[in-house]
Amino acid sequence: MKNNMLFLFCFSILIFNCKKSIEKSSKTETNTNTEEITNPGPLEIYPISHATTVITSTQNIVYIDPTGGAEAFTNYTNPTLIFITDIHGDHMSLKTLEALDLSSATIVAPKAVIDQLTSLTAKKMMVVNNGDVATIDNIKVEAVAMYNLREEALNFHPKGRGNGYILTINNQRIYFSGDTEDIPEMRSLKNIDKAFVCMNLPYTMTVESAASAVLDFKPKQVYPYHYRGTNGMSDIAKFKTLITKGNSEIEVVQLNWYQ
């Protein structure tokens, strides 16, 4: 009898603990699902068009090369930081900048760009050139070179005028190539988590050149962007094949840049 009572007591405790465990598990799952719906995470990247990108984090709303008018950004909060790579219209759109609310925005760009923004009223405008490093609103910014190598393309993007950028946001190093070919400065990049790499002719580089550079600097993820040229779209499927064949550990992420 004594043994039976001990067995029933232990069994009751076991049932009680299982019930609590199930309740706890159910509660955790519910909270996680709610979190996913109400908070998409601390870092989100949204393709707008061609080179234009929005990055949202818990502290910043970052616009990269904003173009397309204010209507391109109707679904996004006003920017806190804007990075512009070069003076060409697919990267610097004065009309778009004038239409945006820049009252909370710091505009970061090379001198050649800032010189053309004298009509703007923004919170702040800051010149950074190749090689400059700064921390702005908790984001580490590294301005890197972007330029052409081919003789026939040297006038498109001379060395020193425009910037690529490495932005460290939430401990992730995110590289935007801007308009460039597979220059040594790109090939020597280190510890890149996400790389946005251009590939369009005649202005930047071929799919093969882009893939070759990416296989050299080995980002964790590579996002082909800025891939519309004078003869249409570059072969992004081929780019992915070249990367996967060369290094299957590099993830190729395809976003919808051209709607």
Q: Could you tell me the residue range of the domain that residue 236 belongs to?
A: 40-252
Residues 193 and 135 occupy one common structural domain: yes
Domain for residue 259, yes or no?
A: no
Query: CB under 8 Å, gap of 24 or more: what pairs does 39-42 form?
Result: 42/170
Domain for residue 80, yes or no?
A: yes
- Tens digit of pLDDT for each residue in 147-166? 988 777 677 889 999 999 99
Domain for residue 247, yes or no?
A: yes
Residues 10 and 138 occupy one common structural domain: no
Domain for residue 258, yes or no?
A: no
- Tens digit of pLDDT for each residue in 66-106? 999 999 999 999 999 999 999 988 899 999 999 999 999 99
Domain for residue 257, yes or no?
A: no
Residues 13 and 82 occupy one common structural domain: no
Looking at every residue in the chain, the average pLDDT score rounds to 85
Measured distance CA(135)–CA(141) in Å, rounded: 6
Residues 128 and 152 occupy one common structural domain: yes
What is the number of structural domains in the chain?
2
Residues 155 and 144 occupy one common structural domain: yes
Highest mean pLDDT among 7-11, 33-37, 63-67: 63-67
Identify the CATH number of the domain in which residue 48 sits: 3.60.15.10
Confidence of residue 140 (pLDDT cuts 50, 70, 90): very high
Rounded to 5 degrees, φ, ψ at 168 are -100, 105
pTM reported for the whole predicted model: 0.82
Domain for residue 97, yes or no?
A: yes
Residue 50 has pLDDT above 80, yes or no: yes
Confidence of residue 139 (pLDDT cuts 50, 70, 90): very high
